[in-house]
Structure 1
Amino acid sequence: MREGTVTLIRREDYLAPAFWIRSVDLSFDLDPAKTLVTSKMRIERNTAVAHGPLCLHGEELNVLRVLIDGESVSFRQDGDLLLIDKAPDADFLLEIRNTCAPEKNTALSGLYTSGGSFFTQCEAEGFRRITFFLDRPDVMAVYTVTLRADKAKYPVLLSNGNLLESGELDNGRHFAKWHDPFPKPSYLFALVAGDLVAREQKVRTRAGRDHLLQVFVRRGDLEKTEHAMNSLIASMVWDEARFNLPLDLERFMVVGVSDFNMGAMENKGLNIFNTSALLASPATATDADFSRIESIVAHEYFHNWTGNRVTCRDWFQLSLKEGLTVFRDQEFSMDMAATPSARAVCRIQDVRQLRATQFPEDSGAMAHPVRPDSYAEINNFYTATVYEKGSEVVRMYQTLVGRAGFEAGMKLYFERHDGQAVTCDDFAQAIADANPGSALATRLEAFKRWYSQAGTPRVRARGVYDELARTYTLTLAQSNPASPGQEHKLPQVIPVALGLLGAEGQALPLQLQGETEAAGLERVLVLDQAEQRFVFINVAVAPVPSLLRGFSAPVLLDDGLSDAELLVLLQHDADAFNRWEASQRLALNRILAAVRSGQALQLDTAYLEAMRAVLKHAGLDAAFKELALTLPGEAYIAEQLEVVDPQAIHAAVEAAQIQLAAALREDWIATFEANSHTGAYSPDPVSSGRRALANLALGMLVLDAKAQSRADAGVWLGRAYQRFKDAGNMTDRLGALAALVNGHAELAEPALAKFHAQFKGDPLVIDKWFALQARAAEQGGRVFAKVRQLLQHPDFSLKNPNRARSLIFSLCMFNPAAFHRADAAGYVFWADQLLALDAINPQVAGRLARVMDRWTTLAEPYRSAALEAIRRVATKPDLSNDVREIIERALASGS
């Protein structure tokens, strides 16, 4: 890293390591101030690589001794490298003793302390902060680990794999020895030591093996682990049933920690979780929390095979494990939802997340392919592109070869590569080879452009109906705008799932020209050229095309449909995703027209009646109604504009909400009354959907009461406050509180005070309290002022990632109207907090730096003020690699 610039690591420069580490015996004498680490590594030279020194990675370590085969050896240190110039050609045993300081490790990478316990986080390059090692994913070793510590302070000692032995030592100390029989890279190493309690469950797999499952948490949190345990068991059952992938260790352990940079980590057999992704009870967690926990527990468990047993050759292949495993956890969640409607809701929520996070990334300064070509800091590429877009790429594999074909490809992938570190190309080849002659196999090289080309492809669709010939000609064209470093791009393979509807909503048979008969009511077209024509024959009436069903490819679709045609889809489409999409398009068209014209938004009767029909439709699930009646987010709206005025967008959205609330007032009342009581709490899809719809209705009624100054305004404000007080679960309590806060009701402040007093001992709930205030609908600068005030709150700490995210990230990332201020105060706030956070935890700071990825699209005066804030950060000489890379790319995007 050089001051003022970043040094890039390039994928094309990959070289295999000069040495392999086949086994490692680690011992830890754990002490918060100075932990002693002894590493004994069995090493052999890689004869396929040119002769050179042994170079080991290490950061913030104090070397005590280095031995080869029991004898002292000379070594030198060059920055963060320990080099041995005269390493033997034959196999040898390298022993290194060093110390590290866990309690000073505020970066939370490597070995650190939290709440009086020891934890590790080694992905991506944290192991080098524990001991010197070949810290790269293609070096896989078998680990044996011995932990020694004070028994009274640290009664629980955990590491990867199976427990070999444990016992007492002198001076009140004890030990535990663990062995993981499966070779793994260093990023999957983990240890935990602390005063923890465990929920335990013994299970037997389909294969007939017994396993012990354990969820470890701090004392007092055990009652909140039942849902996580149930999710773990469900994940095990699903993975063995769907992909024939059983658990391969005697036990599987999950541990919760409050200080954690990520959601969770899939260390082999010892998953470490942010408590926000693990702990849940009806009184403290929302329906969304329950759903998120189920998904993340599944995700980390599924990594046992897609990431651990088969891992990445290098970090450029990160989506090999992350994109694939996100796809697997999404499939799991849909299967757990069970009903077709609940499955559709899962899919809609996943696409909303993709559009909110990944689409802006694809069009911003940090745009990169699913498999990046270069990076300065690997932590910066744990992105929505690698994860969420990577998942969509995997989903397209399944679309092109079918569900059974995809499972056959997975089987072949593990047969070929179990125990290896491989590439995205190896995965693609396995899926194609298992499905010869498929649409994927015949287009494999073109399909792999999804890994190499950044940006979101645009698909333009136009149809022409010939009434006399009874044909419908659909022309599809694709393009992909330039991205940083990629001016010109080749056509990609885009599966387009579609159906055709008559004007009355009837599904039409699909028969392409040249086919002897219709192939059902839905099919997948493959667009792999810049432009292609598809001619459907025997089409009885002029059709309304339902394109990209289920969001069959991560693209931006311009289908040119009129409002009348969108209304047909909204009312009749058999594909729930496109039905929801029609509701969003109808709202988006009106909001964009108002923003572009500069005129006040006025919703028309046709739109309002369409929304009323959705709300009153007896055949639609409550969860779907809530999604369809929720307006597009302000950040997503901004993505549709070449020049972005955040305040104009907010004004249009606010106007739409107020008019929707007023016009449908009686329907909102009926909806609230019908859905506000769901009985004993259960996070199942039906109950969750009803609570979501009731909370949306309550929010609309409070908004209407305030905006219209109705005579009965006090009634709905009072009902919201009463629901807040009496709620039997956190979903309803927080929903009522949000209605008051977003409506800036007089009762909001006493409700916030009461909420804090009731839950002040629960950090995760207080995170919700901070986040709710930071994400509230802006009104005259009140939210921004409140956030500034909350920085001084006794419960706020920049050192805890969850707390920093709950307040600072909530404002900067999720409240555009409060953050983008004409007086530039929001940008000054961002720069201040970014610099403060970078000095403590660069990885979390790097996430905050991403707020300015799209600054060049801002209208004045926001654009100039944002640039000034970015330049201010860039002048800081000691910026971390995490932040420097992002800031320099942001500056470059405006040149």
Structure 2
Amino acid sequence: MSSVTPSIHYLSDYTPPVFDIESVYLEFELNPSHTKVTNTMQVRCIQSGQPLVLDGEQLDLKQVLLDGEDVTEDCLLTGESLSLHVSKPQFELKIVTQIAPQSNTSLEGLYRTSGNYCTQCEAEGFRKITFFLDRPDVLSFFTTKIVADKQDNAVLLSNGNLIETGELADNRHYAIWEDPYRKPSYLFALVAGNLKHIEDHYITADGRKVALRIYVEPQNLDKCQHAMDSLKRSMKWDEERFGLIYDLDIYMIVAVDDFNMGAMENKGLNVFNSKFVLAKPDTATDVDYEGIEAVIGHEYFHNWTGNRVTCRDWFQLTLKEGLTVFRDQEFTADMLSPAVKRIEDVKRLRNNQFPEDSGPMAHPIQPQSYIEMNNFYTMTVYEKGAEVVRLYHTLLGETGFQKGMKLYFERHDGQAVTVEDFRNAMADANQVDLSQMHHWYIQSGTPTLEVKGHYDPFAQTYTLHCQQSLPDQAVAFQPLLIPIKVGLLSKEGKELTLKVAESTQVEMNTQQTQALLWMQEGSQSFTFENVPEPPTPSLLRGFSAPVHLQYDYADQDLSLLSRADSDSFVRWESFQTLALNEIKRNIKRHEKDQPLELSTALIEAFGSVLLDSEADPALIALTISMPDLTYIGEQFEVINVDAVYEVQRWLRAQLALTYQSELQEMYGKLAGVQQAYRYHKTDIAQRMLKNVCLRYLMLLESQFELGQQQFQSQQNMTDVLAALETIAHTDHAQRDGCLQSFYETWQHDPLVLDKWFALQSGSHHLHALEHVQALVEHKDFKYENPNRVRSVLGVFGRVNLLGFHRADGRGYEFLANQVIKLDGINPQVAARIVAPFTHWQRYDQQRQAFMKSALQKILSVDSLSKDVYEIVSKSLAE
């Protein structure tokens, strides 16, 4: 590795800027290999006596003019900055640089993709465009002039409103965009190329007509309508739910194939990964449609929670991302099903963020230090951050939360602020002390909430004794404010009316059958009075806090809750816990070479859920699906890879065998509903349950034709892909033919082809590693395209238990070599691919040794990027 250890940035070192860039006029003369950038800034000195230090990386400096005077020779230039001593209180600084978009494979700053120019500036990409105070607390008025060849760049876009266009000599033209709102440099955007667009409009709540445009490559125009509809729904929802109205004359979205992230909320000009824009029924699944609607909403909602009010520094990232993820979750819940959406979000959190919380890259939602900021665009900052925002909503209710949001905008519109500012607005608006919420921001790890129940038959009271803890805290654990939603069920499954001692801080729902407990101490007890019989507690309803819940439920308690509780999350969770207990018992039997056993309790619970004719089909589908392999592994100090996979598969196969006729009947009934594709919650739910039934049935060799028939019917991509996935997991003679048929049909559609790559990368096949090794040699695999890399290498490391964790270590060796190769092309994507290695100490000694060796090999590489260095070095130091 490089002999220079990257520097560490600390929140405690934050100091305000000593200069302010009041306005900036950027002029781009676009050229693939030598784009000229002229940056004219109006600068004001805030603190005299300090040099002006501008961030800049990989820039070819041509000239620096201070109030018209050439001062290029007076500048101190390093690989990361340009410094200049200026004694004037206000001045104009013009900097001319040259960059090469065509060779920028990092996809940060200004780069070229498929013949189009595109930018990505968050977090620190603007410094690869020009020298600037590239920090989020420097807000400037931006005007951008783009000059380019007309033949290659018919479209010239930037932030704000278009104020001028014109023709130039040599078949060139220009466009000038002016953003009327001050913004940090990370929100700057430029797009140029031969794109086509669809156009619509939206009439805002205050009566203004906003032009809406979605720009794509010409062949993709027929895949934009769902994105446009999603945008209009987002605008309407934000007005109705939060009272927030869009503030420019135009809102633009651009879809590009090569993009490191999902999308970017640049003011008025959102740049999207095409994965989250393009959809039609024969190319996109229900999951794709939902993802597009959610991400369109997320970036639109950022217009206020991120743009109008932005972050003071990058340690405050969860301020905008956690809040906006919460908002997009609520949006999707309102568009589809709140119950289904909540369960899906909890599954995502547990499968991805909980492991992050227990690994070497564990960090609070407000990290206190970083080497490379890109590494902290994480599930913790986003999804756990959203859960912390949800805590405010749970504690204060919808009315109280909205009062807090209103005060937040009144105080901070147009400012760069901190998480404390958000918390203070919530507290002040509701006149409640929320200072304890700070502990959620500064402590890493998933809290454990241990609950024990005690029934006193003489006093007819029931007491919940609650204790909270956080594992592996470097400093003393500071108790968290944990809202616990609870109910009590009778032995018949009836909800009991609750009465709590007056001294307890608690809120009741209108039926008096659910209590919201405010747990504020390390250990705390809550007593319910007038309880006529020993109840079964329904705990953490709606997943009211992101914690590990520990309560010693008997199987009959879980069975009761799974069929009778009024809270859909608790019903789902109870069945999942019942299944998880069964899996854990059988893993112990597997390790002792004892025969595996399927309990009557799980068999009956499965049948009860499957055959519940009154239930939402989507909730049935989610409930009867077994816990994911990742989540199962998280239950153990040492993950027994083979046992986890084999036991989960055996259990699913036994349930399929037991309920074969019922699953067939359910499948046939749902498959018989032949109609044109609709993105509608009823249709989505039916397809979800149908395909869960198919996945169970395809575990039985006799049912292969069922999957093959569904694949061949080509009704919609949701069903086609579900069938092909089940086929890919088999070793059937028809497997390769089905995969080849899919490839031949869709080889010219990049996003559909990503699905084909991902199916094979995640396949539980005996030769999974060999298949993935062949995929990276495939003519359609491109290291320069993040989507393609994630569909193969990302899926392989993250979900392919059999291939990646092969006992001979060859899976680790393969992925390590891929990380090294990718690091020289796109460090940000390479850092994501290396993540599966970070839990190396959770496996058996043989696998530990192989994984550690792979990490050491990566670390030994000369000139390793900061992105990968930070993750690998922290993993080895753990």
User: 1:636 and 1:568 mapped to 2: Cα distance?
Assistant: 23
Q: Determine if the alignment matches structure 1 residue 445 to structure 2 residue 430.
A: no
> 1:25 maps to what in 2?
25
Q: Deviations for 1:672-694, whole angstroms, at most 9, x for unmatched residues?
A: 01111351111211111111111
1:518 CA drift (Å): 7.7
User: 2:795 and 2:502 mapped to 1: Cα distance?
Assistant: 55
Contact conserved, 2:162 with 2:176, CA < 8 A, in 1?
Answer: yes
Give the direction of change, closer, same or farther, for the CA distance of 1:532–1:356 in structure 2 (3 Å limit).
same
1:877 CA drift (Å): 2.3
1:784 CA drift (Å): 1.5
User: 2:743 and 2:80 mapped to 1: Cα distance?
Assistant: 48
User: 2:680 and 2:191 mapped to 1: Cα distance?
Assistant: 33
> 2:799 maps to what in 1?
814
- Count of residues in correspondence between the two structures: 869
Q: Determine if the alignment matches structure 1 residue 762 to structure 2 residue 757.
A: no
User: 1:388 and 1:269 mapped to 2: Cα distance?
Assistant: 25
Identity of aligned residues (%): 47
User: 1:198 and 1:746 mapped to 2: Cα distance?
Assistant: 45
> 2:693 maps to what in 1?
697
Contact conserved, 2:364 with 2:445, CA < 8 A, in 1?
Answer: yes
1:671 to 657, 666, 690: 666
- Counterparts of 1:52-451 in structure 2 under 5 Å? 52-73=50-71, 74-337=73-336, 342-436=337-431, 441-442=432-433, 444-451=434-441
* SS state at 1:329 partner: helix
Dislocated runs of 4+, deviation >4 Å:
515-519
* SS state at 2:751 partner: helix
Q: Determine if the alignment matches structure 1 residue 875 to structure 2 residue 846.
A: no
One-letter code of the match for 2:682?
V
> 2:588 maps to what in 1?
596
Contact conserved, 1:323 with 1:394, CA < 8 A, in 2?
Answer: yes
User: 1:515 and 1:471 mapped to 2: Cα distance?
Assistant: 15
User: 2:809 and 2:64 mapped to 1: Cα distance?
Assistant: 54
Deviates more, 1:504-513 or 1:71-80: 71-80
* SS state at 2:610 partner: helix
1:77 CA drift (Å): 3.6
One-letter code of the match for 1:540?
P
Q: Determine if the alignment matches structure 1 residue 557 to structure 2 residue 544.
A: no
User: 1:6 and 1:141 mapped to 2: Cα distance?
Assistant: 30
1:88 CA drift (Å): 3.0
Q: Deviations for 1:38-86, whole angstroms, at most 9, x for unmatched residues?
A: 0100000113xx6211111111111111001111114334423444432
1:471 CA drift (Å): 0.6
* SS state at 1:119 partner: strand
Contact conserved, 1:775 with 1:811, CA < 8 A, in 2?
Answer: yes
User: 1:298 and 1:307 mapped to 2: Cα distance?
Assistant: 13
Q: Determine if the alignment matches structure 1 residue 741 to structure 2 residue 728.
A: yes
Q: Deviations for 1:275-311, whole angstroms, at most 9, x for unmatched residues?
A: 0111000000000000000000000000000000000
User: 1:739 and 1:805 mapped to 2: Cα distance?
Assistant: 21
Q: Determine if the alignment matches structure 1 residue 45 to structure 2 residue 45.
A: yes
1:448 CA drift (Å): 0.8
Contact conserved, 2:77 with 2:83, CA < 8 A, in 1?
Answer: no
One-letter code of the match for 2:459?
A
* SS state at 1:508 partner: coil
Q: Deviations for 1:569-590, whole angstroms, at most 9, x for unmatched residues?
A: 0010000001000111011001
1:7 CA drift (Å): 1.7
Give the direction of change, closer, same or farther, for the CA distance of 1:736–1:120 in structure 2 (3 Å limit).
same
Contact conserved, 1:717 with 1:747, CA < 8 A, in 2?
Answer: no
TM-score normalised by length of structure 2: 0.98
* SS state at 2:180 partner: strand
Deviates more, 1:744-753 or 1:37-46: 744-753
TM-score normalised by length of structure 1: 0.96
> 2:483 maps to what in 1?
495
Q: Deviations for 1:257-281, whole angstroms, at most 9, x for unmatched residues?
A: 0000000000000000000111000
User: 1:239 and 1:872 mapped to 2: Cα distance?
Assistant: 49
User: 2:562 and 2:472 mapped to 1: Cα distance?
Assistant: 34
Q: Deviations for 1:285-341, whole angstroms, at most 9, x for unmatched residues?
A: 00000000000000000000000000000000000000000000001111111xxxx
1:5 CA drift (Å): 3.5
User: 2:447 and 2:428 mapped to 1: Cα distance?
Assistant: 27
Contact conserved, 1:678 with 1:687, CA < 8 A, in 2?
Answer: no
Contact conserved, 1:76 with 1:82, CA < 8 A, in 2?
Answer: no
* SS state at 2:41 partner: strand
Deviates more, 1:811-820 or 1:370-379: 811-820
* SS state at 2:213 partner: strand
User: 1:892 and 1:463 mapped to 2: Cα distance?
Assistant: 41
2:603 to 605, 608, 612: 608
Give the direction of change, closer, same or farther, for the CA distance of 1:880–1:723 in structure 2 (3 Å limit).
same
Contact conserved, 1:499 with 1:547, CA < 8 A, in 2?
Answer: yes
1:467 to 454, 457, 464: 457
Contact conserved, 1:647 with 1:820, CA < 8 A, in 2?
Answer: no
User: 1:723 and 1:482 mapped to 2: Cα distance?
Assistant: 49
1:859 CA drift (Å): 1.3
One-letter code of the match for 1:871?
Q
* SS state at 2:422 partner: helix
User: 2:819 and 2:596 mapped to 1: Cα distance?
Assistant: 36
One-letter code of the match for 1:733?
V
* SS state at 2:179 partner: strand
Deviates more, 1:688-697 or 1:355-364: 688-697
1:702 CA drift (Å): 1.9
2:704 to 717, 723, 729: 717
> 2:534 maps to what in 1?
542
Gaps of 5+ in 2: none
1:606 CA drift (Å): 2.2
User: 2:601 and 2:448 mapped to 1: Cα distance?
Assistant: 29
Contact conserved, 1:812 with 1:830, CA < 8 A, in 2?
Answer: yes
Q: Deviations for 1:531-582, whole angstroms, at most 9, x for unmatched residues?
A: 1111100112211111110000000000111111001100100000010001
Q: Deviations for 1:365-410, whole angstroms, at most 9, x for unmatched residues?
A: 0000000000000000000000000000000001111111101100
Contact conserved, 2:2 with 2:864, CA < 8 A, in 1?
Answer: no
User: 1:80 and 1:123 mapped to 2: Cα distance?
Assistant: 20
User: 1:476 and 1:634 mapped to 2: Cα distance?
Assistant: 29
User: 1:809 and 1:889 mapped to 2: Cα distance?
Assistant: 20
One-letter code of the match for 2:389?
V
* SS state at 2:454 partner: strand
One-letter code of the match for 1:863?
Q
User: 2:74 and 2:302 mapped to 1: Cα distance?
Assistant: 37
One-letter code of the match for 1:6?
P
Q: Determine if the alignment matches structure 1 residue 636 to structure 2 residue 631.
A: yes
* SS state at 1:409 partner: helix
Contact conserved, 2:454 with 2:463, CA < 8 A, in 1?
Answer: yes
* SS state at 1:40 partner: strand
* SS state at 1:15 partner: coil
1:654 to 649, 652, 663: 649
Contact conserved, 1:4 with 1:877, CA < 8 A, in 2?
Answer: no
* SS state at 1:854 partner: helix
* SS state at 1:182 partner: coil
> 1:709 maps to what in 2?
none
Deviates more, 1:390-399 or 1:816-825: 816-825
1:30 CA drift (Å): 0.4
User: 1:241 and 1:666 mapped to 2: Cα distance?
Assistant: 47
User: 2:267 and 2:179 mapped to 1: Cα distance?
Assistant: 8
* SS state at 2:279 partner: coil
Deviates more, 1:598-607 or 1:540-549: 598-607
Deviates more, 1:362-371 or 1:512-521: 512-521
Deviates more, 1:675-684 or 1:867-876: 675-684
One-letter code of the match for 1:494?
I
1:746 CA drift (Å): 2.1
> 2:780 maps to what in 1?
795
One-letter code of the match for 1:630?
S
